[in-house]
Amino acid sequence: MEQWIDGPDLPVPNVDPSGIVTPDRLTFLLIGGHDPETESDPDTESYSSILSFHCQSRQCHWTKIDHELSEPRAHAVAMFIPNRLGDCEKL
């Protein structure tokens, strides 16, 4: 039976991000969140970064992707929307 193993650490400490698996099921995205050290501070700035977790040949790593959220977020909901629903001109 397979067991859980620890993966690579996040590049920065992060709590309350959103997580989503890409439609091809090859990549996991970690979206937003904030620093756990400042969690009790109501003025804590959330992260706008998006981290990608990808494994190839059993080698896994986190990468910060080039795109960021337009507004920093924590405790948010994330989901993929099919392209056919995202093309407003066709609706």
Domain count, the chain: 1
| Domain range for 39 | 18-90
The pLDDT confidence band at residue 45, using thresholds 50, 70 and 90, is confident
Note the pTM of the prediction, 2 decimals: 0.81
Query: Above 60 in pLDDT, residue 86?
Result: yes
Contacts 24+ apart (CB under 8 A), 60-68: 60/7, 60/8, 61/8, 62/8, 62/9, 62/10, 62/11, 62/30, 64/11, 65/29
Region 52-73 average pLDDT: 93
37 falls within a domain: yes
Query: Above 90 in pLDDT, residue 19?
Result: yes
11 falls within a domain: no
Bridge partners (DSSP) listed for residue 52: 29, 63
Residue 27's pLDDT is: 94
What is the share, in percent, of the chain residues with pLDDT greater than 70?
88
According to DSSP, residue 37 is labeled G
2 falls within a domain: no
According to DSSP, residue 25 is labeled S
23 falls within a domain: yes
Bridge partners (DSSP) listed for residue 50: 31
